[in-house]
Amino acid sequence: MVLYIPQRTGPYVAHKGRSAWLEYHRSKGKINKTIEYTDIYKKILDLFKDLRKPINELSVMHGFECKNHIRITRGMYIKSFKSRDDWKNAIVDKEIVKKYRNHMNYNKYKGQRFTNNYKNYAICFLSLKKYTYSTSDVECLRWATETKNYTVFKIHPQTVKTNPHRIKLFLEICKNYNYLSEYTVLLYDNYDVSDLINKSNFVYSSESSVIVQALISGKPCFLTSNTPFLDIVPTYSVIPNDYVPIAIDEDAINKFITWYYYVVCIDMNKENWKDLIKKRYDMYQKNMTDHQALTWENACKNGLQ
């Protein structure tokens, strides 16, 4: 779910594959009761009623797929993706790394074990979101077929449940380009994510946050569209056919996770979560960009830790 607040209009919430506008000025800050908001978003919406001055393109979404972590930005990780090295300034917090290792949302995706006839195979997670299935998701199947890399493609369970028409269109596109082959195995049922990753040689995806589990598991991984993981995970809009995935150094992973938590995320379990949001809001009121506001130095200076 994404809470998106363009200037002069109101926040934007994507909910269960649909979209809904919340017109604060028209509704006088009342929550749209036809939409089922999570408790976290209800608290944030209530807080924003007291923050009157609009900020252009302010967005709120879950961070790193930990349900109690959110990220508030002015478009970064929504439309602006520029790789940078600020995460290398972070000092590793072992407790935060442990938290992500133990409490990622992928733990809820438990299911049957996958048995296969391939000794060596890759796993690719496809979300098939509305504006990506014709490009970055298709690119994943192209690469598997043309390079003859046996790949198991796991389609997101929510897409299987609510958007079967989207899957049908995706398969038609791939079939037209001859990207469906003996090297592409598609899974629709509920399979155990951890089991799929552990049995694979490497992991790739268009944009799935499950890539974090692949990182933590020490698996080589890469992406085909720009995501918050661009700073550390190799990303290609067109995957080179001679590309060989390489595992990322564990120290680098721990440093990046620490940086992301303290610089980008806001932990809604903290007692001072309102103060953390207001501090972020104040920085944007000063017309700071994401790349100015979201730095390790600035996080330490502003007491965001």
Predicted confidence (pLDDT) per residue in 88-119, tens digit: 999 999 998 888 877 654 455 567 777 776 67
Region 222-236 average pLDDT = 86
Exposure string for 180-211, b = 16+ CB within 10 A, e = fewer: beebbbbbeeebbbbebbebbbbbbbbbbbbb
Mean pLDDT comparison of 48-57, 86-95, 225-234, 282-291, highest-scoring range: 86-95
Is residue 58 within 8 A of residue 284, CB to CB? The reply is yes
Taking residues 159-172, report their average pLDDT: 87
Q: What percent of the chain has pLDDT over 70?
A: 73
DSSP 67: E
Which residue type sits at 261? Y
Which strands form 58-63's sheet, in the order they lie side by side? Answer: 18-21, 12-15, 2-5, 58-63, 66-73, 265-267
What pLDDT sits at residue 62?
67
Domains of the chain: 2-81+270-301 (no CATH), 103-250 (3.40.50.2000)
How far does CA 124 lie from the centroid of its chain?
A: 15
Of 276 and 24, more confident:
276
Q: Which residue has the higher pLDDT, 179 or 40?
A: 179
Confidence (pTM): 0.77
Nearest Cα to 93, choosing from 279, 277, 296? Answer: 296
Which range, of 71-80, 81-90, 169-178, 296-305, averages the lowest pLDDT?
71-80
Q: What angle in degrees, to the nearest 10, is found between the helix axes of 164-176 and 136-147?
A: 40
Measure the CA–CA gap between 72 and 4, rounded to whole angstroms: 10
User: Could you tell me the two tokens for 133?
Assistant: 């299935």
Which of the two residues, 303 and 287, has the higher pLDDT score? 287
Q: Distance between CA 158 and CA 84 in Å, rounded?
A: 32
Cβ atoms of residues 4 and 12 within 8 Å: yes
Q: Which residues of 75-86 are buried (b: 16+ CB within 10 A; e: fewer)?
A: ebbeeebeeeeb
Average pLDDT in the chain: 77
Strand partners, 274: none
Band the pLDDT of 9: cuts 50, 70, 90: very low
The DSSP code sequence of 177-232 is TT--STTEEEE-S-B-HHHHHHHSS-EEESS-TTHHHHHHTT--EEESS--TTTTT
Name every residue whose Cβ is closer than 8 Å to that of residue 60 and which is 6 or more positions away in sequence: 2, 3, 4, 5, 11, 41, 44, 70, 71, 72
Of residues 151, 129, 131, the one with CA closest to residue 142: 151
Please give the angle made by the CA atoms of 74, 78 and 79, to the nearest 5 degrees.
95
